[in-house]
Structures are given as C-alpha cells and as structure tokens.
Amino acid sequence: MTERLPKTAIAYIVAITLLALGAVVDTYLRQPLSVQDIKFLPVLIIIGMFSGSLRVPLTSHKKGHSVAYTNLGFITTIISLLVYGPFFGVIVGASTFITFKRIKSEFYKKLFNISAIIVTVWITSHFLILANYLNLSVGENFKNDSKSNIIPSIAFTGIILISVLCHHTINSLFITGAISTSLKWNRRKAFEFLVNSTIWTIPTYLAAGCFVIMSTWIFIKIQDGHYNAIPLLLSIIPLPFFYFNNLQLHRERDEERENRFQELESLYSSLVQAMGRAIEAKDRYTKEHIGRVVAMSLAIGQQLGLSEDKLRALEVGAALHDIGKIAIPDTVLNKPGKLTPEEFDLIKEHAALGSDILQPIPFPPEVVEAVRHHHEKWDGTGYPDKLIGEKIPFVARIVAVADVYDALTSDRPYRAAWSHQKTMEFMESQVGTHFNAEVFTAFKVAMLANPEMCSQAVDPPPSVLRLAA
C-alpha cells in the first residue's frame, strides 16, 4: 500500500470482502452452473472485461483521490444476471474490474471494487427472487406471447428498471463508504459526495436499463430459434456506446464549468488577499494578525463541523474582519499611546465601516456578518449593533474568539503580550458575557489539537500587566 489507511477504512474493506465471498458461495448454491450454460461464461467474461474498461469519472479529477468512476460493465452484468442467474452475474460483474487496459491502482482498491460489485449484484439478484415469488420470472415474461402476459410484462419491466437503479445506488453507497472512511469525512460531506456522484447519472442508467430489457428479450428469442431477431440485436448494439458518450460529454461539460469556477475562485482569492494587504499596510499592528485569526477561525469552524461553503465564508470573513480600518485616520489607528474616549469611539466605527465597504461586492452574507459583528458580545454590550446571544451571527462569534486571543497574545505599545495560559484563563472568565460557550469550547479543543497556534509569550511581572480598554 502506498498510503496508510485508517483502521475504520481497513475494517470496512475487510467486511465488504468477506461479504463478497459469502455472496459468491450463496449464489452458487442457489443456482449451480450447468454444462450447457458454462460454455457462455468465458464469452461473457471477455465482454465484461471490455465493457468495464469503458469508464467515466463520476467526480472531478481535480478532487484527486476522491475520484469515483462508472463503466459500461453493469450492462453486461445485469444481462448475465437476468439470463443465466446470480452466479453468472457476480462472476461477470467481478470481471468488469479486470480490464484490458492497464489502470494504476493499489491492490486494496482493486480488491474492494471487485468485492463491492459482487455484493451489489448479489443484493440486486434478490429483486429477481421477488419477481419469481410474484410469478414474474424472466422465462415466462420473455417467452409468453399471449395477451394475458401484457400486465405481468409491464410489471416485470418495472422490476428490472428498479433493479438497475438499485444496482447503481448500492454500488455508489459502497464507494462513498470506502472514500469517506479513508479520508475521515463527516456525514455531511459523505452525503454531498453521494448525491453529486449519483443523481446526475440516473437518466442514463434508466436508458441503459431499457437496453438491458430489450437485449435480454432478443437474446432469449434467438435462443428459442427466432433468428429473425438477429438484425434487431445488431441494430441496438451501438446504444451502450451512446450512453457512454453521453456520460463523457456530461462530465466534460462539468469539467469546463469547474474550470471557470476555479478561475473565479482564483480571482476571488486574489481580491481578498489584496484587501488584506491593504489592511496591513494601513495598520502596522495588524501585520500577521490577519493570518493568525484566519488560521484559528478555520480550526474552530472545522471543530464545529461547518460545511465547506461555511468554512470558505468564515475564512474570507476572518481575512477581512478589519477592512473598515482603512477608513480610520492614521493618526488614530497608529497612535503609540492610550486612546482618548473620542478616539476609541472612532476606532469602534471600523466594524460598521467594513460592512459598508463590502456591500457592493457579492460576498456570501456570512462574510459581511463576520466583518460587522466580530466585536459584538454575548451579553449585548458589544458594538456596533449591541446584538445579544443567538442574534449574533455564528461566523462572527468564531472570529470574535480568534480576534481577541490574537490581540491579547500580541505586543502593543501600551502592554506586553500575554501568555497562552493567562489569555485562556481570562477568556474563559468571559464565556457567557463576551463569548459563546459552544464556540469557546471548540476553540479550546482546536488549540489543543494545534499547539503551533498557541502563543509562546511569557507573562511579564504582574506590575506591568494591564488590559487595554
């Protein structure tokens, strides 16, 4: 293995592999190979290997090791399942991952993919057992030409289409489970991946299900001596390649959209960085302050399980939280001594000024909220709007904690930097008045997990310690 897997991922892969072995045994015991049918198995395996090599990514290549694929092998697998039974289905399904193409992949990934498809086919085969219970077997529906067979045939068609969709969904669930346990995703991220890699392919899978029904019906007719069905069989052979081409075109369009989105993201990031540099150039005391506040805010957000979109908005809001200082006079902003009450009132305006500066730019609302409200206090004594408790936006509560910690642990003309321990003790005393308890708890955990973010300052003698207004 080239990468170390978490124990949960190893356990997951082992469980699926053992389940696959049980599935092979169960399908064989349910329907052993007959001498007449076994001669078709090598042909179906070769077709499965070929169709399995025609694969399309379900997710963007830009997501690196999070890429998932689909291939045309499922069509051969379902047809084998319908015509020859579950054992043929699992063997042909496994063959779709033993392709003619040389595809670089770790052994454990190949083992998992083969095991997952075997279990998927095994589960799907139970829909045919249900059909048999309802007297809707493959043979009866594809060989009976009487009018009385119209409704059963329609019902059987529905069962096959549901089987195809379940095959796709179950396999997607297995893949999502493997990736999410390997990368330690939370449930929200795993669900987003499942939806993004499954929903858009459903129409193509339904179309492929119709092809499965048609080709199975034609194949059985030819087996029964209706050789005039051969031209029809030949005419539908190109259809799977149309499905494959449709998936490829859809993926390519998605890639183009993602490329354009990344270009906009790059421009967006450049704009944020430029605005951040403008803040630092204006206020000499904010040098490196912004980067530290961003790092701590993200660590808190991750500890709280925020989504990717929320984390991105939090990152930008933290980077721009002091943008309003651009509008504050240099004489006040960089005054070396203690501020007068009037000067402090002027400084306090930077929060509202910052949100006004950002209004013309279509930032997510959380960004503007973080800028405007990062000086609000839980008891309502903060500024600029004196918001109380839950009325303070969540991202602003996070930035407030990170901002205060960095301010207290940084040197100022009117006081020396506080140590990490003293700062944490003081901030904990402010929980419920200045800070939200949930956010501060997440902050403490985040700092324990990231000791490099903790201040290395040493407390000066008590006689020189004093907290600025």
Residues 6+ apart with CB under 8 A from 428: 440
Question: Vertex 405, ends 402 and 410: CA angle to 5°?
Answer: 120
SS3 category, 469: coil
In angstroms, the CA 275 to CA 273 distance is: 5
User: What digits encode the pLDDT tens for the residues 61-88?
Assistant: 454 444 567 788 888 888 888 878 888 8
Lowest mean pLDDT of 11-15, 23-27, 244-248, 279-283, name the range.
Answer: 279-283
Predicted TM-score of the model (pTM): 0.59
Domain boundaries, the chain: 7-258, 283-464
Mean pLDDT of 158-181: 87
d(CA 64, CA 151): 48
Average pLDDT over residues 207-227: 82
Residues 458-464: contacts with CB under 8 Å, at least 24 apart? 458/419, 459/418, 459/419, 459/422, 460/416, 464/415, 464/416
Taking only the tens place, the pLDDT of each residue in 37-61 is: 777 788 888 888 888 888 777 665 4
Q: Find out whether 79 and 215 touch, Cβ atoms under 8 Å.
A: yes
Distance, in Å, from the CA atom of 387 to the CA atom of 390, rounded to the nearest integer, reads 8
pLDDT of residue 433: 94
pLDDT tens profile 293-319: 999 999 999 999 888 889 989 999 998
Assess contact for 229 and 222: CB atoms under 8 A. Answer: yes
pLDDT at residue number 414: 66
Q: What is the pLDDT of residues 415-467, one digit of tens each?
A: 778 889 999 999 999 999 999 999 999 999 999 998 888 877 776 555 444 44
CB atoms within 10 A of CB 388: 14
Residue with tokens 């699992």: 90
- Give me the helix-helix angle, 308-319 and 239-282, nearest 10°: 20
Average pLDDT over residues 190-217: 82
Closest CA to 75 of 199, 212, 169, 200: 212
pLDDT digits (tens, 9 = 90+) for 1-37: 345 788 898 999 999 999 999 999 998 887 777 766 7
Q: What average pLDDT does the chain have?
A: 81
Q: What is the CA radius of gyration of the chain?
A: 31
Q: Spelled out in words, what is the top-level CATH class assigned to the domain 283-464?
A: mainly alpha
Other CB atoms within a 10 A radius of the CB of residue 3 amount to: 8
